[in-house]
Structure 1
Amino acid sequence: MPTSGQRPDTAAAQGLLVKVAMMQFDAGLTIAMRTPMLMRGALGDARGQREASKAVAEKVSAVMESSVAAGQAAMSLWMALAMSPLSPSGFGEAATRAAHSTLEPFAKRTRANASRLSRRRF
């Protein structure tokens, strides 16, 4: 949301930057918490092998969901352009919305994994 005096496209871009930064933090935490489990899984630990399978399945589903979201966002952008030309700031807002919707499947999973793995005690 724009603060007083802030342009809407600037607020949307800042929101996107915050989302990416949080995803990076959550992904780093997930990697740090998952690595020992995956290493034990490579040595035959069943729980580590289940975690590896879960990680692969989550990534595949996130890529599929993100692809659909990206396609919908691109179609929405093209339809908006076909109906009326967008100003540069309008185009920037539309591109930022497309990026948000494309990243959301990954952001949702990285948040959930970081939360789940940080609660887990070995």
Structure 2
Amino acid sequence: MGKQRILVIDDDETVTTLLQGILEWAGYEVRMACNAAEANRYLWEGAQPALIILDVMMPFLSGEKVAEIYRANEATRDIPILYVSGKPEAELQALVERTGAGGYLHKPFAAAKVVAAVQGLLG
């Protein structure tokens, strides 16, 4: 069995690079996208990821809107979503409940929390 794929969507290259390093160290295959359009190219051209890590506050199309679009599409509706954001935790919890996401990581985050959250969603 190959490595589980994770798609990280965040407009901040520092965050995507950090998450890539943490997740690859933990044994996952990571694909990075800086916006929804780039993520869509990966989703429709390649193998589906086991998990999407999604920034809440991105220009043009918010993470919440991206999640709504993915939930409305049969091909992506069952992929777990883990939000990342610096928003207050109460807002993030409400967003998770509203969109059916698997959880959130509050920025700044520790590597151990990232790995634990991902393992919790992927088993």
TM interval, shorter chain, is under 0.3
State which structure, 1 or 2, has the greater radius of gyration over its C-alpha atoms.
Answer: 1
Which structure carries more strand by proportion? Answer: 2
Q: Structure 1 length normalisation: TM-score?
A: 0.25
